[in-house]
Structure 1
Amino acid sequence: MDLLALADFNLVARHGGFGKAARASARPKATLSRRVADLEAALGVRLFERGARALKLTEEGRALFERTGLLLTELEETATAVASGGQSPRGRLRVSAPLLFSQTAMGKLAAGFARKYPDVRLEVTSEDRAVDMIEEAYDLVIRVNPEPDASLVGRVFLRDRLVVVASPDLRFPPEERPVPAVVRGPVTPSASWKITTPSGKRWLAVDPVLGLASLVMVRDAVRMGVGAARLPLSLVSPDLAAGRLVCWGEVEGFETALWALYPTRRLLSARVSAFLDFLKESFPHGSPDELAAYVEA
């Protein structure tokens, strides 16, 4: 396969058309069109559907783009690193992180990484949905308890636990009486929470009275004494230590793990490797208390 033709195909696919690709690369549009046509002839498939006003990848073209785009980028980065004598990572690094981690730790983490690697242009987006790394061009994603995905590999860099907390003014209820609860999301009838207390395991009946969009908002409402809530230990450790909140027990079966994931491939970019190492340096033990201390420092 002609690697130059493959590179031109990726250029056109990435920019969504021959004209845009030609302007971005300062190369003749006719040359790019001929190279892509030669690649289609060599493979015996159509890679683009050519309309009057739009250019769209065929199913075969999309598969080729998804499987070769990152590899070509990594080959270029490897050649650049070799030519520059193995200097520090450089270029753009796109990361997707969950909302709570972004609100509490990512700003400080990103700033530290930018200082250590000034030639990397780090871009972080914050959302809880499982983004498509290939389609949306992310280099690395951080996910909480991700579903198994054969196309992704990675490592756990933080673990956390859920605890039930409340204001000291809110009394721990008898077993048969429901407690007002603050929840993330809509206020709907909720099942009881199974918790482990110093005196043993028990079910805590709850009556959701307030639904909020983020766990930080939930924590703030619980501080005001509206109700109890299930929250990550790392988020409430400072409040527990200061006496602003009290812990009623640990929620059974709700350990959370934060994973740093990247696409399965033989070559891993220097930027992603550097970010993974930086996560390990920032959280060497990966414990809830370590994350809480990192946020408070």
Structure 2
Amino acid sequence: MDLLALADFNLVARHGGFGRAARAAGRPKATLSRRVAELEGALALRLFERGARTLKLTEEGRALHERTGMLLAELDETAAAISSGGARPRGRLRVSAPLLFSQVAMGRLAAEFALRHPEVRLEVTTEDRAVDMVEEGYDLVIRVNPEANEGLVGRVFLRDRMIVVASSGMARPATDSAVPAVVRGAGGGDAWQVREPGARSRIPFEPTLRLSSVIMVRDAVRAGAGAASLPISLVSHDLAAGTLVHWGDIDGPEIALWVLYPSRRLLSARVSAFLDHLKQAFPQGTPDELAAYVGT
């Protein structure tokens, strides 16, 4: 198989069209079209469905792209590392991160990384959906409690926990009467199951505000609109200052932030550098470390 033709095919597949691939690579569109056609002829397979205005991978084309794209990227990175005399972080690094973590920490993390590694072109996309790393061209993804994925490896780099808090002027009722609550989104039940030293209890609530952002929920609780369930890292400074009070820990699984990537084999220098950067920022991975990082 012609590796150059295979590389051109992956270039077109990654950019979703001959025109975009040609502009990104600075190469003639006709050359890319011819090389892909030659690869299709050699394989006796149609790799793209060509419409008047669209270009879509066939099932065979998608399988070839998924299986060869990462291998070619690893070859390029190995050659670059050898030619530069070492594993110096350089090139484009695409990261997908969840909304809340991006809002409170990613701006500072990205800036510190960029200053430390000026030859890396860092691009961070904020979204909570489970992106397809290979199909969408990401090098790393950060996710909260992700489902098991045999195609990805990674590790937990931060842990957090949910607690129920309220403003200091709001008293926790002694009876089972519902408390006014600020909740995120729709649904969410009608009571919090909480753990306290030596006991478990139930706090019924009635939503008075529904907001789409965790930051908005925290700010509304600070203003006295009601109680809420929030990550402790997001309110630890308020608890220390006495402006918010802790009503108990949510009785449920902890929050684990994972950093995921496709393979440990031939891990690129820029990916390794970002993993090290996360470890240096959060060496123990505790909620207190995240709160301190955000607070400073």
Give the TM-score, by structure 1 length: 0.93
3-state SS in 2 of match to 1:135: helix
Deviation at 1:107, TM superposition (A): 0.8
Which residue of structure 1 lines up, in the alignment, with residue 83 of structure 2?
83
Deviation at 1:16, TM superposition (A): 3.4
Matches within 5 A, 1:170-185: 170-185=170-185
What is the distance in 2 between the residues matched to 1:31 and 1:251?
A: 60
What is the distance in 1 between the residues matched to 2:249 and 2:101?
A: 21
After superposition, the Cα gap between the structure-2 partners of 1:127 and 1:177, relative to the gap in structure 1 and judged at 3 Å, is: same
| Amino acid aligned to 1:233 | I
RMSD over aligned Cα atoms: 1.9
What is the distance in 2 between the residues matched to 1:210 and 1:22?
A: 50
Which residue of structure 1 lines up, in the alignment, with residue 248 of structure 2?
249
After superposition, the Cα gap between the structure-2 partners of 1:18 and 1:185, relative to the gap in structure 1 and judged at 3 Å, is: closer
Deviation at 1:4, TM superposition (A): 1.6
Deviation at 1:224, TM superposition (A): 1.3
2:205 is the alignment partner of 1:203: no
Q: Identity across aligned pairs (percent)?
A: 70
After superposition, the Cα gap between the structure-2 partners of 1:59 and 1:115, relative to the gap in structure 1 and judged at 3 Å, is: same
What is the distance in 1 between the residues matched to 2:74 and 2:138?
A: 14
Which residue of structure 1 lines up, in the alignment, with residue 64 of structure 2?
64
Give the TM-score, by structure 2 length: 0.93
After superposition, the Cα gap between the structure-2 partners of 1:57 and 1:170, relative to the gap in structure 1 and judged at 3 Å, is: same
Deviation at 1:112, TM superposition (A): 0.8
Deviation at 1:204, TM superposition (A): 0.8
Which residue of structure 1 lines up, in the alignment, with residue 118 of structure 2?
118
Moved more, 230-239 or 256-265: 256-265
Deviation at 1:236, TM superposition (A): 0.6
1:196-247 per-position Cα deviation (integer Å, ceiling 9, x unaligned): 1235211111111111111111111111111111100100110000111010
What is the distance in 2 between the residues matched to 1:96 and 1:264?
A: 16
After superposition, the Cα gap between the structure-2 partners of 1:169 and 1:63, relative to the gap in structure 1 and judged at 3 Å, is: same
What is the distance in 2 between the residues matched to 1:89 and 1:34?
A: 34
What is the distance in 1 between the residues matched to 2:29 and 2:36?
A: 11
After superposition, the Cα gap between the structure-2 partners of 1:219 and 1:55, relative to the gap in structure 1 and judged at 3 Å, is: closer
1:232-270 per-position Cα deviation (integer Å, ceiling 9, x unaligned): 010011000011101011011131000001124633221
Deviation at 1:6, TM superposition (A): 0.8
Which residue of structure 2 lines up, in the alignment, with residue 293 of structure 1?
292
Which residue of structure 1 lines up, in the alignment, with residue 259 of structure 2?
260
Native 8 Å contact 1:157 1:283 kept in 2: yes
Moved more, 188-197 or 88-97: 188-197
3-state SS in 1 of match to 2:147: coil
What is the distance in 2 between the residues matched to 1:244 and 1:2?
A: 66
1:36-83 per-position Cα deviation (integer Å, ceiling 9, x unaligned): 233223323211223444432211111111222222122112101101
Which residue of structure 1 lines up, in the alignment, with residue 99 of structure 2?
99
1:63-121 per-position Cα deviation (integer Å, ceiling 9, x unaligned): 11122222212211210110110152111111111111111111111111111111111
Structure 1 portions without partners, runs of 5+: none
What is the distance in 1 between the residues matched to 2:155 and 2:54?
A: 40
Number of paired residues?
Answer: 296
